Amino acid sequence: MRRLYVICALVALSAVRMMAEVDPNFYIYICFGQSNMEGNAQPESIDKTGIDNRFRLLATCNFSNPSRTKGNWYKATPPLVSPNGGLGPTDWFGRMMCESLPDSIRIGVIPVAMGGSPIQMFDKDLYQQQLQAHPGDWWAILSKNHYGGNPYGRIIEMAKKAQTVGVIKGILLHQGCSNCGDPNWPGMVKKIYNDMLTDLNLGADSVPLFVGEVEYAGAGTNAESGGCASHNTQVARIPSVIPTGHVVSAKDCPGNNADPWHFSAYGYRKLGARYAGEALYTLEQHLPYFSFHNYMFTLNKHCTFDDASRTLTAKTTGVGSAYWEYPHLADWSAFKYLVIKLKEPADPAAEVWIYKKNSIGCREIFNDRETIVIDIHHAKYSATELDPSLISKMLFRCPKDTKIVFDDIFLSNDEQYDPALTAIRGVVSDDNDFRAPLYSLDGRLAEPAKLKAGVYINNGKKILVK
């Protein structure tokens, strides 16, 4: 009997230890699909550098280059999915999640994908039938080589392993070209999603599904680009079929100009960031609305943006404009000020417009300032007041043949950014700097030799005395 008690105690202790090792701040996402999820672009230098160590990959197959072993965690450097893959949306999904969330949060991904794979290969009741019917197809060979012929089984195996160290927060899917336009596709996706939830003991409310659109027609220079764009009609049905399903837009995500289906590296960055935006929305977080990655901006034809130097340059052909647009209205109401800092003064006519829903709520001209501050609770455009809880877009306008060089943009409650103070032209501590007359803000004549710290009017300008 005593031995039984000891055994029970050890089992209980082991269970407690296992529970204690689960990090609630390790957010894990399952990522599956076909070639776009597998990653079809050659990674560029920007894709290989600056990766936060908080972004982790659970290898779902063995790699030789880089050397990885199935079931182990690694820093998430491309390729993430398999040795056959390249850069895909998962790469910048994880990077943007890390950039957006507190440093205490880690992001993990469990990727399983095969180029050309039909959605049925992820159905645990249909995959064997698919393999038997198409044994020589590329996706069937990949599934055998990397996932033992059972991609769904590999997802569940790896996800259960991940659940011992973290918490599954969502599922990402990019697939459709092999089932292009099939009206049964949303229902098939629903079955796979529900099977995953059941097999992993997850709830739909806490584990949403994010489904990416396929390449739009005209996304590449080749005449056949967006060859499966019609499938986006089926993708659009996902939220009506799956209440916790979210559509990730591929609009303006460039194709690779080589085939009708795949995105360029730039397109994958943009698409991955949009997956992150949807995931952050479900976490009641927000994408960093002031991220200076060039794929986060939408530019008109009259300008370019270099993210290394954070420079927006207008061409000689016209006024350049670039904007951040938020798929879900941004709520800035917890803050008082929007602060725009420049590395150097821009053209005095440069300006920023802030939109509430579809109307302009604020317009601010730079006027040679290096720090532009907008009191977002009192800003207005003409008779329209800005509602900081309904921000839809922030747009910068740059006169032709000029540039705006950004330093930083952020929201703040710090009173040092009160617009009344940001208009101050200087900071002085020696009364020899003054030229009479000198007044306090309430209009009283002040004596330079007896000044206390504060704000004063000197020679028609505000000054701050420390």
Q: How far apart are CA 170 and CA 109, in angstroms?
A: 10
Measured CA to CA in angstroms, residue 119 lies from 39, 41, 67, 234, 367 at distances of 17, 22, 29, 13, 56
**The architecture CATH gives domain 294-413:** Sandwich (2.60)
Q: Is pLDDT at 430 greater than 90 in this prediction?
A: no
Q: What is the pLDDT of residues 68-95, one digit of tens each?
A: 999 999 999 999 999 989 999 999 999 9
Quickly count: other Cβ atoms within 10 Å of residue 221's Cβ: 11
Q: How far apart are CA 449 and CA 447, in angstroms?
A: 6
Quickly count: other Cβ atoms within 10 Å of residue 273's Cβ: 25
Q: Is pLDDT at 205 greater than 60 in this prediction?
A: yes
Q: What is the pLDDT of residue 223?
A: 75
Q: Is pLDDT at 17 greater than 50 in this prediction?
A: no
Q: At what angle do helices 151-162 and 185-199 cross, to 10 degrees?
A: 40
Every domain of the chain with CATH number 3.40.50.1110 lies at 21-282
Give, as one character, the DSSP assignment of residue 41.
B
Q: Which CATH superfamily is domain 21-282 in?
A: SGNH hydrolase (3.40.50.1110)
Q: Is pLDDT at 33 greater than 70 in this prediction?
A: yes
Q: Are 331 and 405 in contact (CB under 8 A)?
A: no
Name the H helices within 101-222: 127-133, 138-147, 151-162, 185-199
pTM assigned to the model: 0.84
Give the pLDDT mean for 382-403.
93
- Residues forming beta bridges with residue 360, ordered by sequence position: 355
Q: What is the pLDDT of residue 219?
A: 85
Q: How far apart are CA 355 and CA 458, in angstroms?
A: 37
Q: Is pLDDT at 13 greater than 50 in this prediction?
A: no
Instruction: List, by residue number, the catalytic residues.
Output: 35, 259, 262
Q: Higher pLDDT residue, 428 or 152?
A: 152
Every domain of the chain with CATH number 2.60.120.430 lies at 294-413
Give the model's confidence band at 461: pLDDT under 50 very low, under 70 low, under 90 confident, else very high.
low
